[in-house]
Amino acid sequence: MINKVSTLNVLLYGEPIATITNVGQDRTLFSFTEEYINNESRSVLGLGFKDSLGNLLTNFKPTQTKLIPFFSNLLPEETMRNYLAERAGVDPAREFFLLWVLGQDLAGAITVEPADGEALPITDQKDIEDEMKYEEPMRFSLAGVQLKFSGVQHSNGGLTIPVTGQGGSWIVKLPSSRFEAVPENEYSMMALAGMLGMNVPDIQLLPIDRIENIPEGIGKFGDSAFVIKRFDRADNQAIHIEDFAQVFGIYPHDKYKMASMRNIAQVIGIEGQAEDIAEFTRRLVFNTLIGNADMHLKNWSVIYKDKRTASIAPAYDFLSTIAYIPDDSASLKVSRSKKFSEFSIDELSHLAAKAMLPEKLVLETAKQTLEGFHQVWAKEKTNLALTKSMVEIIDKHLTTIPLR
C-alpha cells in the first residue's frame, strides 16, 4: 500500500472553510481554517459543529478509514456506494478517496476538491493493475441506498442523466429490483403530502423511456421513475442543507438508532419557528398514517436559506413501506414508543412536553392533519398510482392508529 499525505479542501458556497487530510494508513484529520474560525459572520456548516453555548467546535479526533460523521453522511450507502465506487476504481470503504471522487456535487452547498489540483492517488496494488479499466466516475453523490441519479430536464419534459453524473437539478430514482412499483408508491405519497399542505418539491412520475443515459448494467424493473426537484439547488446556486444524522454526529449505519423523533423535534423547536414545528408535526402524523416504517434520521433535514439560520427542509422520501413489509413499528421512537398502534394524542403530548414544544400547536396540527388526511385519502386513493393491494393495506393500517 502506498502511503502519501493528501489534502482535500472543503468549500462552503465556494469559499474554503476547512481541510481533510489523509496522513497515511487511512487515517484522516479534519480541521477548520483559521479564517473560518475567526469569521464572526461565517456561514453555518452544521448544527453539529456548535457546542452547548453556540460556539464553533474546533477540535476533532482523527478517524480511521471513515471520515467524521458529517462528511461520512454526504456519501452514498450500500448499493449506490458500491456502484459509484466500482465505476471510479475506489474501495467503497475508504471514505477519504470516495469523497475525493464525488466531492464536486454533494448535497447542500459543500464542495470538496484536492489541494493544489492534486490527482487522485493510486491507493493500492489492485488500482495499479486495473487503473486503465475504470470508466469516468459519475460524480453525483446523494446519501442513500436506492439507485438515484442527477438529471437535467429538457424543454420537452424528458430528462438526461449527465455522463459525469453531476450538474443536474433533479433526482431520478429508478424502479426497485426487490419491490413492486416503488416509484409509483413514492410519487403517490409525496403527492398526498402536497395535497395536505406540506412543503413538497416539484415531483414527476416519468416513463423510463423519457430518461436518457440510464447507466448500463442497471436493470429496468418497472415502467416509471420517480423524479424530484433538488431543493438544495435554485437558480444555479447551491443552498446548504444538513440531515439529522449529521446534526447528531451519527454515522449512517446508526441512522435507526441513537436518537428519536423527540430529539429531532427539540432541535427544530430550538432552531426554527412555529411553522417549522407545525410542519414537523404534519409529517410525523402523515408518515404514521401511511405506514412509513423507514423515516430514519437521514430522512429529516434542515435547510439554511440565509446561510446561517436553520429551518425544516422540504419533504422527501415518503413511502408506504407497509405495502411491502408488514410492520407495526416506526424506525425511530416518537417519544416513548415506536409502535404505530401506540401513536396517540397522549404520545404527542408527551413528545411536546419533553421536546419543549407548544402543546396546543402540536395537538391542533396533528388533529388537522388527521382530519385532512382521511378526507383526501377517501377522495384520491383510487386515483393515485397505487396498486389495489397497496390501497387495501393502507386502509387496514389506518384502523389500527389510535390517534383521534
pLDDT, tens only, 240-284: 999 999 999 999 999 998 999 999 999 999 999 999 999 999 999
Among 133, 158, 180, residue at a domain's last position: 133
Q: Are residues 99 and 165 in the same domain?
A: no
Domain that holds residue 13: 6-133
For residue 322, CA distances in Å to 44, 106, 141, 291, 340 come to 37, 31, 28, 5, 11
Q: Count of alpha carbons within 13 Å of 44, Cβ hemisphere only?
A: 23
Q: What are the φ and ψ backbone dihedral angles of 173, each rounded to 5 degrees?
A: -115, 115
Q: Are residues 230 and 247 in the same domain?
A: no
Please report whether residue 143 resides in a domain.
no
Please report whether residue 247 resides in a domain.
yes
Residue 225 CB partners (closer than 8 Å, separation 6+): 172, 173, 174, 175, 183, 205, 206, 207, 208, 211
Q: Are residues 126 and 229 in the same domain?
A: no
Q: Are residues 124 and 215 in the same domain?
A: no
**CATH number of the structural domain spanning residue 270:** 1.10.1070.20
> For all residues of the chain together, what is the average pLDDT?
88
How many angstroms separate the CA atoms of 87 and 134, rounded? 6
Alpha helix (H) residue ranges in 170-319: 182-195, 244-247, 261-271, 274-289
Please report whether residue 373 resides in a domain.
yes
Q: Report, as an integer, the average pLDDT of 150-166.
A: 59
Q: Are residues 193 and 45 in the same domain?
A: no
Give the pLDDT confidence score for residue 154 in this predicted structure: 60
Q: Are residues 278 and 220 in the same domain?
A: no
Q: Report, as an integer, the average pLDDT of 314-318.
A: 97
Residue 387: pLDDT band (50, 70, 90) is very high
Q: Are residues 393 and 281 in the same domain?
A: yes
Q: Are residues 301 and 385 in the same domain?
A: yes
Bridge-based pairing state of the strands 6-12 and 224-229: unpaired
Please report whether residue 342 resides in a domain.
yes
Residue 161: pLDDT band (50, 70, 90) is low
Q: Are residues 226 and 264 in the same domain?
A: no
Q: Are residues 86 and 129 in the same domain?
A: yes
Beta bridge partners of 160: 152, 212
Please report whether residue 269 resides in a domain.
yes
Give the pLDDT confidence score for residue 340 in this predicted structure: 98
Is 294 catalytic? The answer is: yes
Catalytic residue among 26, 276, 294, 317: 294
H or E element that contains 6 = strand 6-12
C-alpha cell at 163: 455522463
Among 234, 259, 280, residue at a domain's last position: 234
Give the pLDDT confidence score for residue 211 in this predicted structure: 81
Q: Are residues 257 and 121 in the same domain?
A: no
Please report whether residue 404 resides in a domain.
no
Q: Are residues 213 and 350 in the same domain?
A: no
Q: What is the pLDDT of residues 81-133, one digit of tens each?
A: 887 788 788 899 999 999 998 898 899 999 999 997 777 765 543 443 444 34
Domain count, the chain: 3
pLDDT above 80: residue 75: yes
Contact predicate 67/30, CB 8 Å: yes
What sign for the dihedral angle of Cα 344, 197, 108, 316? Answer: positive
Model-level pTM? 0.90
Give the pLDDT confidence score for residue 95 in this predicted structure: 95
How many angstroms separate the CA atoms of 329 and 272, rounded? 28
Please report whether residue 384 resides in a domain.
yes
How many angstroms separate the CA atoms of 118 and 95, rounded? 17
Tell me which of 36-45, 140-149, 269-278 is least confident: 140-149
Please report whether residue 223 resides in a domain.
yes
Among 234, 260, 295, residue at a domain's last position: 234
Q: What is the pLDDT of residues 344-365, one digit of tens each?
A: 999 999 999 999 999 999 999 9
Radius of gyration of the chain (CA): 22
Bridge-based pairing state of the strands 211-212 and 159-160: parallel
Q: Count of alpha carbons within 13 Å of 258, Cβ hemisphere only?
A: 16
Higher-pLDDT residue of 131, 399: 399
Residue 314: pLDDT band (50, 70, 90) is very high
Give the pLDDT confidence score for residue 139 in this predicted structure: 38
Q: Report, as an integer, the average pLDDT of 200-214.
A: 88
